[in-house]
Structure formats: C-alpha cells, structure tokens
Amino acid sequence: MTDKDIEVTTVNNEAEDEETKPVEVYSEKADAEAPDLDSEQIKAAALAYAKYLREQGLIPGDATFVEPEEIGVVLEEKTAEVEDLPEEENAEAEETAEAEPEEEKAEDVAEDEKTEAEETEVEPVEETKAEDVQAEAEETVTEPEKTEAEEKAPKKKAGKERKKKQKAKEKKQNLYKKQFMKKTGRSPLASVTDGLDRVQDAVDGAFVNMGRDAVRGFHRISTGYMNSRRTIGFALLLTGILAAAILIIFDMFTVYEYAYNGKVLGYVQEQEEVTDVLDIAGRKLSSGRENGVSVEFVANQNVTFNLVEGKGKSTDDSDTVINKLIYMTDIETEATAIYDGDSVVAIVKDEADAEELLAQTMGQLSMPDNGMVLVSAEFVNELSTRPVNVLLGSVQSKAAAQEQMVNGGDMETFHIAEEGETVESIAEEYGVETDGIYDENNEEVVSEIEQGDKICIRSTVEPVSVKMVETGRIKETVEYQTIKKETDKYYKGDTNVEQEGVDGVQIFEGTITKVAGEETDRDEISTEVIKEKKDKIILVGTAERPKTAATGTFIIPLDRYTFSSGFGYRWGRLHKGVDLAVGTGNPIHASDGGEVIRSSYFGAYGYCVEIEHEPGVVTRYAHCSKLLVSVGDLVYQGQTIALVGNTGNSFGSHLHFEVLINGSPQNPVNYIHP
C-alpha cells in the first residue's frame, strides 16, 4: 500500500448520541503522515498484523474488521512497555484511570475515533455489520457468568481475586491504548502499515533518484551533442565517403575464386556466374554416362568460394564455368562397392544397382542344364556392399561390373585421400596389399599420402563362385580322355597318335552339384549310354636318339666368319642363302644331324654337300675346297663335313649356306640358333 495509511475508524449506529461500544475497522486515507515510532514498536505491531492477516486469509489492503481479542493480544504485549514508564507518568495514568469510570473512557475513545472518521470522510460500515461487531465486542467484555462458586466460599474468593486482576489488566491496556492514540493519533495496529509504507517509500525514493540521475545524464549528453552536432555530422559524412570509396576500390580489385572439393577451377567477378549454372553443369555431366551416375554440384558444399586479390587474374564467364565443371577429371562421388570377402570385385553407382547386379550375377552363374531343375544356389563367399568415395570414372556400368564379377580381371580405382586416411587403411578398405597403391599417374607405388592426394588402387579381381544344386534327367556328352603309352619304337621326344578320341553320349538322371561351373558331386538314379566314348591314345618314344639324328635345331656351320651377304634378291635374281666369308681351309660343320644326300661338284656351287635332316628338310654347303663325307653317310650336329674354298661361281673364299624346306629356299637366319 503506497502512500496510504491505515486509520482506525469508529463506526456508530444511526444515532450519534446513542451510546454504543466502538468497533475498530481499517480504511485507507491518502496523504497521512506516518507516526514517529521506534523500530521495536513497528516490529511488534507488524508481527501481530501479519499473524492476523494469515489467520483470516487476508492480504494487506483488504478492509479489515479487527476483533477485540486481536487488539488485546497486541495491548497485552505492550503492557510491559507501559510499566516501564517513569513513576510520575505511571502514577498519573493510574489515578486518571481510577478517576474515570469504564463507561466514560469508552465514550471518550468512541468520541475521538468518531472525530477522526469524520475528518477522513470514511464511508460508514453497513449497520448490520456494525451491530454484529458491537455485539461481539460486548460479549467479549461481559463478565463471566456466576457458577457454583457462590456455594463454596474459597472458590468465590478466588474468583473475585481473578476478576480483580483481570480488571486491573484491562485498565492498563486501556491506559496504553489511550496514551498511544493521544501521542500518535492512531491505534497500535495502524502503525504496522505505516512501517510497511515507509519501506515502500524508501524503495520508491531510490527508483526516483535513479530516474532523476538518468535524466540529468541524458540531458548532459544531449547538450554536448547539440553543441558538437556540426563536428559529428562532418565526421559522419567523411566516414561515409571513405567507406564508399573503400568498397568501390575493394570491389574493383577483388575477385571470387571458385573450387570443387578444394581444387581451384578459376575466378569470377560475382558468385552468381557460378551458382546460376551449377544445375546445368550437373545435368550435362550426368547425361549419357554409361555408368548412370548422377552428378550434383552444390554451392558452399562441394563448390566453394573465396574472395581474393584480383590483380593478374583473368575471370571466367558462365560458359567457361560450365566447360570447366563438365570436363573435370577429378570429380569425386559416393558409390557402392561389392566385396567378395575382403576384396572389391565391382563398384557401381548406388546400393540399388549393387543389389540388382548381385541378382543378375547369381542368375548367370546358376543356370541349370537343359532338362534339369535348380534346387539351390548361393555364393561360395559372402558378398557384401559398402559405400566408398571414388572418382567418377571409377564407377562401372552394371554390364561391365557383371562381366568382371563373372570372368575376373584387372581393376583400377582412383580415390582422393581424406583426412586421417593412410596407405595402410586404404589398402585394407579395398582388400589389396600396400604395394597396390600408386600415385595419381598410376606409375609409382606410394608409401605416404596426405589429405587431398589422388591415388590409384590396383587390384586383380577373381571371378565370384556360385555353388548350385540341380536335379532331373539330362542328355550329356561324355568327353573322351587322352591316354599316353610309352614305346621304344620311337626316340625320346618323339610321339605318335595310335588312336583318335571320340566323345560318347549318355542320358543321366539324378542330382548334380557344381561349384564355379565345375561338377563336384552327383547322385545317380540311372544312366543310359547312347554312344560309347573312345579315348585318344598317344605313343611316346623312349629309345635313345643317335648322334646322327636330327635335333630340330640348326647351328652356325663355321667357328668364325664375317657376314658378307644376306638372303634375298641381288643383281636381279634371288640369292637363296647367306654368304659367310672366311679363309680357305677353315672347317665346315653339319648344322644338324642327318644323312648326306650329295657330296660332289655341283655347277655354280662348286664342290657342294647336302644333308637331309628330316623328310623335306635339307641344308646345303657350297664353294668348298675339299669334301670330307660321302653320299649315304649319317652325320651328327657339329661334325666336320668339308673345308671352306672358292670353287664354282665365287669371287673370294667364303661359305654359301642354304636351308630348303620341301625344295623351297628359306632365310637361314630364321632357323639358326646360336
């Protein structure tokens, strides 16, 4: 209750002159001065008032009808204070109290309270309420009814004494009340709210002082501003001009650097020249790709910008930006890898393609034979899928991936190293050895990598295996087997086919188990042979080969020589052999083992030797100075058969050497081995 005091008002009945006992009520009166009380008085009264409000369920400010009993509580507590008054005042108060009858005291109090009520112009309380309060007050002060104490003298005497003490106590209470009201002009309970109001006034005063200080400070600031507004205005204008100039200069000499996943692609004047074409570039890059991968460029995610100095940097237009984006080779995407155990066997664009690829591969590798029904099929190893980040070109089409899974092959996967990755961790992820991690050019093995490095992972993919079980009735081919038989009719290393092989045909009924296409087990119900098979029989020689037998290879027939003329056309005609120049008398050796079929003078060849090594295979040695063998002799490889000379159509000492296959001259260089 701010700025208001609680006053005790006396409510009377309709006739002011009619004697009634006053009833204390509380009303609010503005602009009343608070009584001058010490802290102990305020504290005692406040406690009593708070207790009363709590018991009655009221709050400060409600109209309160104070019961006489409640007033008695406070007065009883204050009696001790009255007893402490100086003896003169105490004696005077007792005399005054004894001189005035109780009825006169009540009339004086009622008259005083009536006067205060008229001054504050408090509205009268309803008559019914005043009467009730008055009745309760009369009942309170009425002496207790007499009991059987009259018949008993001791009890009667004790009762009189108690009555006398009660009357003395009431006199003291009335005396304190009258003195308090005479001094303050208010009842004791009214001082409670006075103390509360003083506290509220102190708080309000503090806020008023704060507001006043704030207004004064604002006034000083505004006064200073008004005095210097010209200076401030000029400073603000100059600052604005400088800021605008800086912005213009900054805009003229800066450009935006745009990059894809940290790789700088170029520079533009405005970011919109890139952001406006990202969707177009993504669609162009995705369309027509065999692997079906969709590429998405997202500003401030995989495409980023950085404001840099523009000096010496040429900027791109929108068309150039599109071309740079769609022709990038280092575009990274998240794909799905298919693992056979720990090794990657294929990489496709997403999980859906991977699942479809696994189903198609299983179908291809588990096709039952004609007439058979598939019972079951499963991959031999567990095949799983996992997301991987690879360059766009490493993602396979489903057709290429299926071909690789079925038949195997070499695989190269390009990857950009991410934070925390090492050569070891990448090798483990792709199921390869560390020596399978190469640099971005796929040329050298790397031992260390850093974030952002482009690397190539090399691997060899083994075909995936499927175990299948099929059952039914099938007509099948029984393949012949090749059987080798040893014989001494042929030299070691020689073979001869004694019997050609022929496949058989039969009808099988039952269950067959296959792994990776190879039959591993069969459960036969019945087998009907339609055609018997014949195995192929090969005879293998075991006899020791004589020295004169042909070895199948040719050696150079001279120990030393100078190559003077090769095989081919010379002076308009074919030179059928090669010329090896060396001095007359040097030994000539048989190029291979065989039988001598010529040893004589032979026209332009001069003295000549011919040896047949195998049917249709002949070597010729011409221009000899002396012959050392005869027709029919068996010679071995390296045996001396003649001496070098210059006979026949010759222009210097040399050996003319030929190789004839079925009578046709061949270039000896193609047959001679060192």
The whole model's pTM is what?
0.41
Q: For residue 592, give its domain range.
A: 562-670
d(CA 16, CA 431): 114
Q: Say whether pLDDT at 399 is over 80.
A: yes
| 50 and 188 belong to one structural domain | yes
Q: Read off the pLDDT of residues 287-298 as tens digits, 9 standing for 90 and up.
A: 756 556 667 788
Is there a domain that residue 226 lies in?
A: no
Is there a domain that residue 549 lies in?
A: no
The H-assigned helical ranges of 590-656 are none
Which of 461, 490, 523 marks a domain boundary? 461
> Rounded to an integer, what is the distance from CA 628 to the centroid of its chain?
91
Average predicted confidence (pLDDT) for the chain: 77
| 60 and 160 belong to one structural domain | yes
Provide the 10 A C-beta neighbour count for residue 277.
19
Q: Once rounded to an integer, what is the mean pLDDT over residues 640-655?
A: 94
Is there a domain that residue 37 lies in?
A: yes
Is there a domain that residue 196 lies in?
A: yes
d(CA 656, CA 623): 7
Q: Read off the pLDDT of residues 39-90 as tens digits, 9 standing for 90 and up.
A: 666 667 777 767 766 776 666 655 554 444 444 444 455 445 444 444 444 4
Q: Read off the pLDDT of residues 333-350 as tens digits, 9 standing for 90 and up.
A: 889 999 998 899 999 988
Is there a domain that residue 243 lies in?
A: no
| 370 and 388 belong to one structural domain | yes
Q: Say whether pLDDT at 101 is over 70.
A: no
CATH number (domain holding residue 610): 2.70.70.10
- Higher-confidence residue of 145 and 663: namely 663
| 363 and 379 belong to one structural domain | yes
Which of 326, 354, 373 marks a domain boundary? 326
Residue in 571, 552, 548, 549 with CA at minimum distance from that of residue 651: 571
Residue in 39, 183, 28, 230 with CA at minimum distance from that of residue 117: 28
In this structure, are residues 284 and 228 in contact, taking their beta carbons and an 8 Å threshold? no
Is there a domain that residue 235 lies in?
A: no
| 9 and 107 belong to one structural domain | yes
- Higher-confidence residue of 660 and 110: namely 660
Q: Read off the pLDDT of residues 235-287 as tens digits, 9 standing for 90 and up.
A: 677 777 766 655 555 555 789 999 887 778 889 988 998 998 888 887 877 77
Name beta bridge partners: 575. 568
Domain count within the chain: 5
In this structure, are residues 192 and 98 in contact, taking their beta carbons and an 8 Å threshold? no
| 593 and 656 belong to one structural domain | yes
Q: What is the largest CA-CA distance in the chain?
A: 195
pLDDT of residue 601: 96
Would you tell me the crossing angle of helices 351-365 and 398-407 to the nearest 10 degrees?
A: 40
100: confidence class by pLDDT, cuts 50, 70, 90? very low
Those residues whose C-beta lies under 8 Å from the C-beta of residue 438, and which sit 6 or more positions away, are 444, 445, 446, 455, 456, 457, 458
What does the chain come to in residues? 674
| 364 and 300 belong to one structural domain | no
| 448 and 352 belong to one structural domain | yes
| 340 and 455 belong to one structural domain | yes
| 429 and 502 belong to one structural domain | no
Q: Read off the pLDDT of residues 107-132 as tens digits, 9 standing for 90 and up.
A: 444 444 444 444 444 344 344 444 44
| 452 and 584 belong to one structural domain | no
| 48 and 163 belong to one structural domain | yes
Is there a domain that residue 593 lies in?
A: yes
Is there a domain that residue 248 lies in?
A: no
Four-point Cα dihedral 441, 447, 451, 456, nearest 10: 30
Those residues whose C-beta lies under 8 Å from the C-beta of residue 261, and which sit 6 or more positions away, are 302, 330, 332, 416
Which of 269, 300, 326 marks a domain boundary? 326
pLDDT of residue 260: 81
Q: Say whether pLDDT at 445 is over 80.
A: yes
Q: Say whether pLDDT at 471 is over 70.
A: yes
- Higher-confidence residue of 585 and 223: namely 585
